[in-house]
Structure 1
């Protein structure tokens, strides 16, 4: 009876060890960070947000002469109390929607093509055009609907809207509570729209090389998908059976132990 008890205990230990074994290299981020970042720091390209169709822009034009700048600002009047149309009213800045052709309709200047430009280039273009009407205009531009979607093996999947226009892949995953233990860190998928086409990109987050690539910073409307690893895939069919088996073996060991007393 003791031999049966010993064999059963050994079998449980082997199964548990087999299930818990995992390579460190599959789970640790940025494993070659020192070599890559020190080597490539001087060659890293500067990140710039590119404007694209469906971006909502807030554009504010200001100048020393406030009255002169007013025609270049889209403003609307709204009541502070919708239930009382005669109540207090205030001005609200309207937003510009970049259409499918990359254009916006701008006061005084008419149709402007901003799609494909970096935000800095768009600001420079507006400043040059408005300078023909007023002296030393100041242009403030902001993307109001910058968001990314994170799905798959993360703790809190969802759509993340951010106030900044500079979001890294690491930050997006952190907003989602990081990857679960079942997420494939070596094969994170980014789906990015480029010139109207959705392009899939694979990123290995266990290596620091991606931190100097064009995919370290996310673009607005990027989709990030974390694939499940083999353990998660196998557990959908095999895992529950193993768990039931281990539970049954544990119960059997307990019964045998009680019976031998």
Structure 2
């Protein structure tokens, strides 16, 4: 009887030790651990950086004037442009009508009556000023509206809802992106999140420790840019648990086969 139960007791002991060693401490889960112990903490203001137009961007451009009929000669056929109503929303219930332009690989868009206009490298404000100058000889008191139709980021790895998200086009933070993806589960590595950025001809990878308050003061990583990708790694004990579960399942099958064989051939 003792010889039969000894392997079972040993197996239970090994499983218990493994589970205890894989427990996650609170220090691995808490954001901003080094914040001062105050009710109100002042943070430096952050000015959203104006986005620069790149190849492939989807632009909304609309011309208007006192004589709207004349202004419409410079507008394409009306299309529906999606506009987020609330910062951080994944879907965009509000819509408006206007002209949508996809920036070509050569950096130009084609506007009726004005022809090809180079837009790459300009901000929306700079393009607005450029277009106002171009239509001024033809329209009285012209107005031009320019904005980006989309602002997309991707969140992958150890998050509850990985995917590609459309967020607020004016200002989106790293925590709004994580919130859109359902936040980080207990199995996520908060102290080594990677931000992949391909923007304005430069490619960079940032290593971010979300357990440190310094992330709140670093505008370069706190505020996201169009097409940013956040990658969240799993904790090592998560990987260990998965491997342990696989090994345990395999050993269970082997033990069952051995036990069955012993019962048949003894």
Q: Work out whether residues 143 and 165 of structure 1, in 8 Å CA contact, stay in contact via their aligned partners in 2.
A: no
1:233 aligned residue (229, 236, 239): 239
Gaps of 5+ in 2: 80-96, 252-266
2:63 paired residue number: 61
Distance 1:143 1:13, change over 3 A: same
Looking at structure 1, the residues matched to 138 and 166 of structure 2 have their Cα atoms a distance apart, in angstroms, of 36
Q: Does 2:167 align with 1:162? A: yes
The CA deviation at 1:176 is 0.8
Q: What residue number does 1:75 align with?
A: 77
SS in 1 for 2:73: helix
Structure 2: distance between partners of 1:28 and 1:243 = 33
For 2:33 and 2:149, the matched residues in 1 are separated by: 36
- Mapping of 1:215-230 within 5 angstroms? 215-230=221-236
The CA deviation string for residues 111-131 of structure 1, in whole angstroms up to 9 with x for no partner, is 222222222222233233333
**Per-residue deviation at 1:60?**
0.9
Please say if 1:135 is aligned against 2:137. no
Partner of residue 106 from structure 2, selected from 101, 106, 109: 101
Aligned residue in 2 for 1:46 = 48
Quick one: distance in 2 between partners of 1:234 and 1:69?
A: 65
Aligned 8 A contact 1:182 1:232 in 2 = yes
User: TM-score scaled to structure 1, two decimals?
Assistant: 0.72
| 1:18 equivalent in structure 2 | 21
Computed over aligned residues only, the root mean square deviation of the Cα atoms, in angstroms, reads 3.3
Quote the offset at 1:39 in angstroms. Answer: 6.6
In the aligned structure 2, how far is the partner of 1:97 from the partner of 1:219?
18
TM-score (norm. length: structure 2) = 0.71
Aligned length: 227
Mind listing any 5+ residue stretches in structure 1 that lack a counterpart?
A: 78-91, 246-261
Question: Given the alignment, which residue of 202, 205, 216 partners 2:207?
Answer: 202
Distance in structure 1 (CA, Å) of the matches to 2:116 and 2:247? 64
Shift of 1:142: 2.8
What is the CA distance between 1:38 and its match in structure 2?
A: 5.7
Counterpart-to-counterpart distance in 1, 2:34 and 2:121: 34
TM-superposition CA deviations, 1:78-115 (whole Å, max 9, x none): xxxxxxxxxxxxxx744111122322112233222222
> What's the CA shift for 1:170?
0.8
Report what 1:150 is aligned to. 155
Question: Whole-Å Cα distance in 2 between the matches of residues 189 and 52 of structure 1?
Answer: 23
- SS of residue in 2 equivalent to 1:57: strand
Quote how far apart the aligned CAs of 1:71 are.
Answer: 1.6
